[in-house]
């Protein structure tokens, strides 16, 4: 037996062994086809194939992180924004992932983009900025439902950025400032209302209680005495002045 012939045999044996013996890691599965027809899913560990008769497609079962490219979204209140996100998913059914879709990753990426635009387009800008958790949950639920037929489980969706143009940022800032001014006016009005109510109640008490009025008069005198000023306004109690008004009234009407 000549040396070239031996070399050909050795090479042929190596090729056969390479196509016959497959080793799959713990997170890998092999979808086996027998003469073009699906046979079974094997793995992990050592897999033996019949060359030319059986073929195997390897599938990774680990969680895959996929960036959703920036999408132009028009919100329900007609505001144009740019939004990007990230999705976390994994293959749970290797048979479906290989047989029912040509490229499971490309299909998931395209579906994620359309779902992102569809869900966010149903909400106003304020919801996009303030209710991201709810939007993430809505997008995740839709994606998980639509990719179930491909053997995909979408575990999480996170909206990363909602970018606005400069004019919209200024408009939002003006709106926030106007809202703060409105709240300040409401608070001031409530304070004035409470103060007016309290003063009105105090006036009614002083009008009905002579002793309370006298106490308030004495308190006012004490406050004036503590002030350092050259001019002192001394309040005269109405009780002192009232008899004078009565005398004057009697003089103007002598027959009464």
**Rounded to whole angstroms, how far apart are CA atoms 116 and 128?**
12
Packing angle of the helix pair 132-146, 104-120 (nearest 10 deg): 140
Mean model confidence pLDDT for the chain: 82
Mean pLDDT across 101-109: 94
Asked if pLDDT for residue 241 goes beyond 70, the answer is no
Task: Please tell me the predicted confidence (pLDDT) of residue 218.
Answer: 63
Burial of 94 (0-12, 13-18, 19+ CB in 10 A): buried
Task: Please tell me the predicted confidence (pLDDT) of residue 234.
Answer: 57
Under DSSP, the state recorded for 148 is: G
**Rounded to whole angstroms, how far apart are CA atoms 35 and 146?**
31
> How far separated are the first and last CA of the chain, in Å rounded?
159
pLDDT digits (tens, 9 = 90+) for 172-190: 666 667 777 788 888 888 8
Task: Please tell me the predicted confidence (pLDDT) of residue 12.
Answer: 78
Task: Please tell me the predicted confidence (pLDDT) of residue 94.
Answer: 96
> Between residues 153 and 175, which one has the greater pLDDT?
153
Q: Where in the chain are the domains?
A: 14-60, 64-169
Class (C level, CATH) for 64-169: alpha beta
Under DSSP, the state recorded for 165 is: -
Asked if pLDDT for residue 244 goes beyond 70, the answer is no
Distances (CA, A) of 111 to 50, 143, 224: 37, 7, 80
**Rounded to whole angstroms, how far apart are CA atoms 5 and 13?**
12
Packing angle of the helix pair 166-208, 210-225 (nearest 10 deg): 120
Which of 4-8, 22-26, 211-215 shows the lowest per-residue confidence on average (mean pLDDT)?
A: 211-215
pLDDT digits (tens, 9 = 90+) for 31-53: 999 998 999 999 899 999 988 89
Length of the chain: 256
Q: Specify the residue for token string 């919100």.
A: 75
In this prediction the pTM is 0.64
Helix extents (H) in the chain: 3-20, 94-99, 104-120, 125-130, 132-146, 166-208, 210-225, 238-252
> Between residues 144 and 255, which one has the greater pLDDT?
144
> Between residues 75 and 214, which one has the greater pLDDT?
75
pLDDT digits (tens, 9 = 90+) for 11-37: 877 777 777 898 999 999 999 999 989
Q: Cβ(56)–Cβ(22) under 8 Å? A: yes
Which of 59-63, 101-105, 125-129, 218-222 shows the lowest per-residue confidence on average (mean pLDDT)?
A: 218-222
């Amino acid at each position: 037996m000549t040396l070239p012939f031996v070399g050909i045999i050795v090479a042929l044996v190596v090729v056969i062994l390479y196509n016959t013996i497959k080793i799959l890691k713990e997170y890998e599965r092999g979808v086996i086809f027998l003469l073009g027809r699906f046979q079974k899913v094997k793995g992990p560990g050592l897999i033996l194939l019949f060359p030319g008769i059986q073929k195997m497609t390897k599938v990774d079962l680990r969680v895959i992180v996929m960036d959703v490219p920036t999408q132009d979204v028009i919100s329900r209140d007609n505001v144009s924004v740019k939004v990007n996100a990230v999705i976390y998913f994994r293959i749970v059914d290797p048979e479906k992932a290989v047989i029912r879709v040509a490229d499971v990753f490309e299909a998931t990426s395209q579906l994620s983009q359309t779902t992102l635009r569809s869900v966010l387009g149903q909400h106003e800008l304020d919801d996009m900025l303030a209710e991201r958790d709810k939007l993430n949950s809505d997008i995740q639920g839709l994606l998980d439902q639509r990719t179930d037929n491909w053997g995909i489980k979408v575990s999480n969706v996170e909206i990363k950025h909602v970018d606005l143009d400069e004019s919209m940022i200024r408009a939002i800032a003006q709106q926030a400032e106007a809202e703060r001014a409105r709240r300040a006016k409401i608070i001031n009005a409530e304070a004035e209302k409470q103060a007016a109510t309290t003063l009105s109640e105090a006036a009614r008490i002083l009008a009905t209680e002579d002793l309370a009025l006298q106490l308030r008069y004495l308190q006012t005198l004490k406050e004036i005495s503590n002030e350092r000023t050259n001019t002192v306004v001394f309040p005269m109690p109405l009780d002192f002045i009232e008899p004078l008004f009565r005398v004057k009234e009697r003089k103007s009407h002598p027959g009464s």
